[in-house]
Structure 1
């Protein structure tokens, strides 16, 4: 999350000042620390409570939620990444969240993985500032939200009751804050996908992509994503050649015909686009640099300012024309997080985030040519921020003050125009960090952030995404591995995407036979267990443990995946038609802790490539039982 500031609330002493309006809610203390707003407590869904912040005049409302530290073990939020520990208030900072990055919600939990403080604000569009931390002198943990409210505007903050598992508490928040008009997910969105990125990077061409598409369809994929490299000027590093969004005729002599060829294989076709990027080597740069004051010199590009109506029109037209002209099934919309650079700037000028280079993907400094002030489109007038109402149509709005509202308007325009072309079959991929609940109105494939070859990160990120994805299909980052490695290595990469929809991105042509067998076997396993893995009740344990064992249960079937040795999964066997045990470790056994009575079962085991590795009868339970499973292999437990 981008670091920011809230005037008057930099020091911990101010954060813990006496509240002007206070209320005790579900074991937490809620306090409004600023003038100009009112605080009311209202009933919420399923035992939750709602805090209503309302303003009679324009104001910044700062709300504190705090609880005793108790047995707290960590704090989770949508952009937590690896950092899930307890932060001291003096070491914390204000962060800006919104559609471009994360979401205004979080969950403090104890050593049993139960929620102590779980909250979320209904700010699907407008940017919000958040902070959290522990007061060491009082042993209380606080979370703060700074919300810009216009006269007559209100904001709803939902609190979940303490005591439920983290996953359940966060899912309930996601449901309570869900947008009413989520983009439908067509069946193809829940099929394994093939991406060209890690397999080919920018060295793509019609013949090679079609050859890989044929192999991907045979392996069980339902979607092909053509990533960066298809467009004119896509050479070298950086993004100086991105922005014109015209297919390179040397790579794709007839792009529309190529798309039809791939679709004829039974695959939906999506293409990568970064509509906010204006590369220095493009015609778009010559035309639209004045709409993109934020420059990233090391990437050779500028970023369109979505607060400007003219900039939104440029970006939306690029997306819609690409789909319309080539009859694509959807888009992979990338780098929306770069818009976060405009979070602290006035739309007609300023020296905030756009004037610094922090070394991150959203960094960079504006060049002397355009300065640091954001342009205003001719004939338009800035308007206020706020949450912009629901996630509805852009409605011809002009310039806006809030970057989150600008992104909402842009994405609403793109969504509405693309749905006019593709209806409910439209596919739109968004990736972390812009995958909060409010983005479900604009994207139906929510992908984990890039983590090439990192199975642990893929597992953690997809599980994090799944907590809030009340409607969209969660997709893994593209799966790749060393083609000279063992098939167990390939299998473990596929295991990392079990509880999401897998995306492959390893070159299938010439893939070693054992790796190919592992790929086909685990994709088949995923498809046959998709309802349990993506729609069942998930237990992933404590967030700070990074989910070493994950279980999913639905009806009479269950899946337990073991990602670390010396762990166990606790599940009942009685009444189950099947329990699948996935051993994603280098060990040759797993431990199943059987709930309830002893049960006579048949154990069928398979190695990483799906080859049978033995069958036997055994009585399991009650309590823990070690079960032999080949490394990166599978054991299917059924009634004897």
Structure 2
């Protein structure tokens, strides 16, 4: 067998391989050095296909290829804004337990899927090449998996109508076989975060003031972010490692936590337990276990492959929660452990699995309804056993990015509740700017991070209105069937349906197909830049559908409440931007 090559510019320059039909129009070739790997494809009861590859404990490369056809885009967990087609010399990624997931979906211009796959084991590092082969007019995906004593597994979903339905089939499959962390009700309630509101300039009195206002506005959880800890001032992480409260900011941290909890909020504190800064008092003790610098400024990374490091992290986190009465933690920068990947010292993903298993067990013994927030990029099915609040990566002030990232996360969120990045806006901006941030987080649990005492009355009214609407529509937005459209269209028209209620949010000026006769209630959210929604009414036969339409401005003020008859065709509704219309069937 020809040795596998690592430095070819395009996949066409790799050593030739024999391809065989796999599924639909997809062909496969499997290579492993020093052995003849065997593979089988089996149909599962749910209609998915399971590829098993036995490479006799050798590294293996799985090559997938299919005709370009009418391909429009390729989605994968690390896609970010690059979700259209790229050349195969450009499409490369490395995924692991704490950074992405070996999964992908190629779809055409109708939205139908051409290839949808996911590895069954999310822990090991997998290197992936993907993109258009210019030489062969094909789309290719190459997966390089490490040696394993057990057969490798890859799930495939046959071609279907949309990326959301195909990825949903994978999500359902993983959910059936994953011991996800329980999700208490508090994990599904709006959050107040201190990060954008205060950055590191937090103190007990200020946080308690915001907590009271947040509880009154409709929040159920408070997250105290970076800055609460000793040496937690100034950007950078040179002071990380001690994880004890800064007594200048919080003279009695335990009493402070209790006062916040008395408002009705659950309380979480931020911690980056693998970071070790040279200014920390414990630095000399742990420096030999943190030999590699982090990719974030000022700190080194504790090596989780060392048993003493794992024991230290668990003890630190348990002590913080137990001694101060916290409901949980926001665990950050776990992905920094990947600085040790490939150094020959052992698999980082397996070490993190041990660490996080020990941590969850120890914390649940202290707090049975434990809350743990995990921030992207570690939100794949491998991490749902270790966190129940799955948060979008940072996008301050960017409502579109929050929408895209939270929907991306939800596509493969096996367990837990998907949370938005904390919402930031300027108190001097028009009220529509505040509402835009809230609407951008509709399909996730919203986190709020502005100084509530400094908001003008119309901003506060908009906050209360949208949090109330979100709570009312949570069964649709979080638990319903969500159809967001093509990923490369950035989810500008999203449908969420459950229990006879349809929520449609539209983020561009376009005709919005609606079927009022099929639902007792249709909620139309106008996130476009025009003061109207153009409906394309479907399914209203004969005399049409009798409805009552209630229209609200973005701050909750009622603009109109009248009966209407919706007949097939186009109809314009005067819905203010960042407002909504509720269409209820009559009779």
TM-score interval, normalised by the smaller of the two chains? over 0.9
Measure the CA separation in 2 of the matches of 1:464 and 1:541: 12
Match 1:634 to one of 556, 576, 580: 580
Q: d(CA) in 1 for partners of 2:22 and 2:239?
A: 55
Could you tell me how far apart the structure 1 residues matched to 2:173 and 2:15 are? 30
Post-superposition Cα deviations, 1:288-342, rounded to whole Å, max 9, x if no partner, equal: 1111111148721101122222222222222121111112111100011212222
Say if 2:498 is the partner of 1:544: no
Q: Distance in 1 between matches of 2:114 and 2:351?
A: 35
Question: Aligned partners of 1:245 and 1:45: how far apart in 2?
Answer: 49
Q: Out of 164, 167, 172, which is 1:167 matched to?
A: 164
- 2:473 is the alignment partner of 1:473: no
Corresponding position of 2:191? 193
Q: 1:123 to 1:15 in 2, by over 3 A?
A: farther
Report the number of matched residues. 577
Counterpart of 1:287 (choices 277, 285, 288) is 285
Which residue number corresponds to residue 514 of structure 2?
A: 571
- The Cα of 1:635 is off from its aligned counterpart by 0.8
Structure 2 distance, partners of 1:144, 1:625, is 48
1:404 maps onto 2:335 in alignment: no
Write the distance in 1 (CA, Å) between the matches of 2:43 and 2:340.
36
- Provide the alpha-carbon RMSD of the alignment: 1.6
The answer (yes or no) to whether the contact 2:98–2:383 under 8 Å persists in 1 is no
- Report what 2:71 is aligned to: 72
Contact 2:341 2:347 in 1 (8 A): yes
CA distance in 1, matches of 2:136, 2:19: 21
C-alpha contact (below 8 Å) 1:21/1:38 kept by paired residues: no
Distance 1:342 1:203 in 2: 33
Aligned residue in 1 for 2:107: 109
Would you say 1:527 and 2:524 are equivalent positions?
Answer: no
Asked if 1 retains the 8 angstrom alpha-carbon contact of 2:200 and 2:228, the reply is yes
Kindly report which structure 2 residues correspond to 1:284-363, keeping only aligned pairs within 5 A, or say none.
284-296=282-294, 299-347=297-345
Matched, 1:177 2:174: yes
Query: Residue in 1 aligned with 2:526?
Result: 583
For 1:398-437, what aligned pairs fall within 5 Å after superposition?
A: 401-423=346-368, 425-437=369-381
Query: Does the Cα contact within 8 Å between 2:520 and 2:585 map onto a contact in 1?
Result: yes
1:49 matched residue in structure 2: 49
Q: TM-score w.r.t. structure 1 length?
A: 0.88
What is the rounded CA distance, in whole Å, between the counterparts of 1:297 and 1:194 in structure 2? 28
Q: Is the 8 A contact 2:19 2:27 kept in 1?
A: no
Q: Give the aligned partner of residue 87 of structure 1.
A: 86
1: CA distance, partners of 2:72 / 2:430: 37
Does the CA contact (< 8 Å) of 1:20 and 1:34 recur in 2?
no
Distance, in Å, in 2 between the alignment partners of 1:513 and 1:412 is: 46
Q: CA deviation at 1:18?
A: 4.2
Q: Which moved more, 1:479-488 or 1:571-580?
A: 571-580
Tell me the CA shift for residue 586 of structure 1. Answer: 2.6
Contact 2:427 2:454 in 1 (8 A): no
Q: 1:568 to 1:293 in 2, by over 3 A?
A: farther
1:258 corresponds to which residue?
A: 256
User: Is 1:615 paired with 2:561?
Assistant: yes
Residues 590-605 of structure 1: pairs in structure 2 closer than 5 A: 590-597=533-540, 598-605=544-551
Could you tell me how far apart the structure 2 residues matched to 1:134 and 1:174 are?
Answer: 27
Cα distance between partner residues in 1 of 2:563 and 2:12: 66
- Partners of 1:163 and 1:296 in 2: how far apart? 42
1:15 is displaced (CA, Å) by 6.7
Structure 1 position 62 matched with structure 2 position 8 = no
Distance across 2 between alignment mates of 1:343 and 1:569: 48
**Residues 1:624 and 2:567 aligned together:** no
- The counterpart of 1:34, out of the listed 32, 49, 72, is 32
- C-alpha distance 22-420 of structure 1, shift in aligned 2 (>3 A): farther
The CA distance in 1 between the partners of 2:140 and 2:7, in whole Å, is 14
Instruction: Please give the secondary structure, in 2, of the residue aligned with 1:83.
Output: coil
Partners of 2:60 and 2:228 lie apart in 1 by 47
Contact 2:4 / 2:15 at 8 angstroms: preserved in 1? no
Aligned counterparts of 1:129 and 1:434: Cα–Cα separation in 2 = 16
SS in 1 for 2:154: strand
After the TM superposition, list the runs of 4 or more consecutive aligned residues in structure 1 that deviate by more than 3 angstroms: 13-23
Where structure 1 has 5 or more consecutive residues not aligned to the other structure, the ranges are 1-5, 348-400
Instruction: From 500, 505, 520, give the equivalent of 2:449.
Output: 505
Cα gap change, 1:262 to 1:298, in 2 (>3 Å):
closer
The alpha-carbon deviation at position 568 of structure 1 amounts to 2.9
For residues 22 and 506 of structure 2, what CA distance do their matches in structure 1 show?
A: 41
Query: Which stretch of the first structure deviates more once superposed, 425-434 or 589-598?
Result: 589-598
Q: Indicate the residue corresponding to 2:266 in structure 1.
A: 268
| 2:502 paired with 1:558 | yes
How far 1:632 moved relative to its partner? 1.1
Task: Identify which range, 298-307 or 325-334, moves more after superposition.
Answer: 298-307
Asked if the contact 1:18/1:33 (under 8 Å) is kept, the reply is: no
> Contact (CA 8 Å) 2:68, 2:138: kept in 1 or not?
yes
- Spell out, residue by residue over 1:416-444, the C-alpha distance to the aligned partner (whole angstroms, 9 max, x if none): 11111112x11110011111111101011
For residues 454 and 45 of structure 1, do their structure 2 counterparts lie closer, same or farther at Cα, with a shift above 3 Å needed?
farther
Describe the SS at the equivalent of 2:452: coil
Residues in 2 aligned to 1:606 and 1:80: alpha-carbon distance in whole angstroms: 36
Change beyond 3 A, Cα 1:580–1:74: same
Query: Residue 158 of structure 1: which of 155, 158, 175 is its match?
Result: 155
Task: Name the structure 2 match of 1:391.
Answer: none
Q: Is the 8 A contact 1:115 1:166 kept in 2?
A: yes
TM-score (norm 2): 0.95
Identify if the C-alpha distance between structure 1 residues 410 and 590 changes in structure 2 by more than 3 Å, giving closer, same or farther. Answer: same
Please, which moves more after superposition, 287-296 or 310-319?
310-319
Cα distance in structure 2, aligned partners of 1:124 and 1:109: 23
For 2:407 and 2:296, the matched residues in 1 are separated by: 33
> Bigger shift: 335-344 or 543-552?
335-344
User: Unpaired segments of 5 or more residues in structure 2?
Assistant: none
Aligned to 1:247: 245
Question: What is the CA-CA distance between 1:577 and the residue it aligns to?
Answer: 1.7
